[in-house]
Structure 1
Amino acid sequence: MDDKYLKRTVNKEVIASRYLPEGERKLRVFLPPGYNEVLSYPVVYCQDGEDFFNFGRVATISNQLILDEGIEPFIVVGVEVDKKVRTEEYSPDGSRHAEYVRFFAEELIPFIESKYPVRRDAASRLLAGDSLGGTSSLHIALNHREMFTQVLSLSGAFFDCSLDLMELETDLSWLDIYMTVGLQEDAYETMDRGVHNFVELNRDARALLEERGAKVSYLERDGKHTWGFWQKDLPAGLAHFLDR
């Protein structure tokens, strides 16, 4: 791979939190080529931040999109998570979910917007996540639609608790969501919720979202519930929102 893609700036941050039990959260912040504090940038907020950087190669992919595809430079914020409490934070029926949503909207966003030259309108913020991270991204948007209108979901884990909340919505015309799922995810064994057909879960979520007026870009293709699949789809998912 060309060295120009591998030369990148990723800052590590620690943000204090009143809402999270551990009192803080680690972040990774990718700064684009030519980063300049007098400019302003769109920003991508990723759940599972460590995985997006290590397995999704989001910094390298972002460099490629900016340097080769002519996409306007953007910043990526990866929000790390303790895998032991990931379900409790990310699932809408999780014991820590409400606090995590508050942390995201009331602490994380102001922290980034006070420290980095990012744009502060909903059209310049993108929420991204894989599996339960995709679910969490959607529910953060549903709770704070004044802040977030764009969601990138890679094989979202749209279990019944998630679908039930979608059913309660009446107007999702403000939402723009990109969904992808692998056709070999039809019997995926989750860590703590049994075996699920992620293809059917995503088809059900798509139907509910479209019925309520959301703009849905939906893709099914060969792939398993792994970063090997999601990494390949990440460039198209990011470009869907950022190449405008």
Structure 2
Amino acid sequence: MDQKLRKRTIVRRELTSSYLGETRSYKVYLPPNYDRNKAYPVLYAQDGEQFLNFGRGATIAQEMILNGKLFPFIIAAVTVSRENRTEEYGTGRSRNAIYKSFFTEELLPAVEEEFSASDRVLVGDSLGGTVSLDLALDRPDLFNKVLSLSGAFYPDVMKGVLRKPDLSYLLIYMLIGLEETAVPVSDGKTVDFLSYNREMKNLLEQRGASVTYVEEKGGHDWGFWQSQLSSAFSFFFEVK
């Protein structure tokens, strides 16, 4: 088992984006015994480098797949710069629209031209959870499954949900920490993400979304999110 775990297959790709005006890299984790002739579910991860490194996303997936707990799936982990993260992930921010166009019109076709996809799940932490939900709201033809790790569901995000009368297509797993009541943010203020997530849960359910909502002891950090990934992966990919 240890030897197989060390042999995780992660490939790096680069994509020149006309929307972003730059070359953006992404990494793709391929499950054990990957067969290029088969289609697999693809988990698209925002904050890709952190998801793989701090979240240990590929390591956890590999171990659970090898143990027979999960069926095989692919992870496409998309990088983002610290400088542009808020502007790309934040609802209505200066680069938000072009990032979402890059994601749907350039990244997704590039990934799925090389790796056949049978299904898609979007995952993101904090603002990564925000843009993941926004993508599912904007493009229900492409995305209907979201894994939110302490999503930063500010009022602007809730307004987007209020504009959607029917979200019965949406399946979302929401994780939030009980200690996330005063999370420091970039402008020096603190935000009660626990209350925001509780409110978002209610809004989504009122519009028919299928919401699995999990509150656990933890904070707004990768230590908490990593500890909960196995449960979240099981929700979407468990071998029944």
Q: TM-score range by the shorter chain?
A: over 0.9
Matched residue pairs, number?
Answer: 239
Residue of structure 2 equivalent to 1:8: 8
AA in 2 matched with 1:181: I
The farther-off stretch of 180-189 and 5-14 is 5-14
Residue of structure 1 equivalent to 2:18: 18
Instruction: State whether residues 47 and 128 of structure 2, in contact with CA within 8 Å, keep that contact through their aligned partners in structure 1.
Output: yes
Instruction: Provide the TM-score with structure 1 as the length reference.
Output: 0.95
Alpha-carbon shift at residue 89 of structure 1 (Å)? 0.3
Given the alignment, which residue of 136, 161, 167 partners 2:131? Answer: 136
In the TM superposition, structure 1's runs of 4+ consecutive aligned residues that sit over 6 Å from their partners are none
Residue of structure 2 equivalent to 1:54: 53
Residue of structure 1 equivalent to 2:220: 225
The answer as to 2:4 corresponding to 1:41 is: no
AA in 2 matched with 1:110: P
List alignment gaps of at least 5 residues for structure 2: none
Residue of structure 1 equivalent to 2:200: 205
Alpha-carbon shift at residue 224 of structure 1 (Å)? 0.7
Alpha-carbon shift at residue 177 of structure 1 (Å)? 0.2
Residue of structure 2 equivalent to 1:81: 80
Distance 2:157 2:171 in 1: 17
Distance 2:184 2:200 in 1: 19
Alignment of 1:107-186 (within 5 A): 107-119=106-118, 124-186=119-181
Q: Deviations over 1:175-194 (max 9, x none)?
A: 00000100111100012372
Distance 1:7 1:235 in 2: 20
Instruction: Provide the TM-score with structure 2 as the length reference.
Output: 0.96
Compared CA separation, residues 70 and 221, structure 1 to 2 (3 A): closer
Alpha-carbon shift at residue 234 of structure 1 (Å)? 1.0
AA in 1 matched with 2:20: L
Residue of structure 2 equivalent to 1:234: 229
Instruction: State whether residues 45 and 123 of structure 2, in contact with CA within 8 Å, keep that contact through their aligned partners in structure 1.
Output: yes
Distance 2:52 2:224 in 1: 15
> RMSD in angstroms over aligned alpha carbons?
1.3
Residue identity over aligned pairs, in percent, reads 46
Distance 2:114 2:16 in 1: 14
Distance 1:166 1:100 in 2: 19
List alignment gaps of at least 5 residues for structure 1: none
The farther-off stretch of 43-52 and 185-194 is 185-194
AA in 2 matched with 1:44: L
Instruction: State whether residues 69 and 234 of structure 2, in contact with CA within 8 Å, keep that contact through their aligned partners in structure 1.
Output: no
Given the alignment, which residue of 191, 212, 220 partners 1:196? Answer: 191
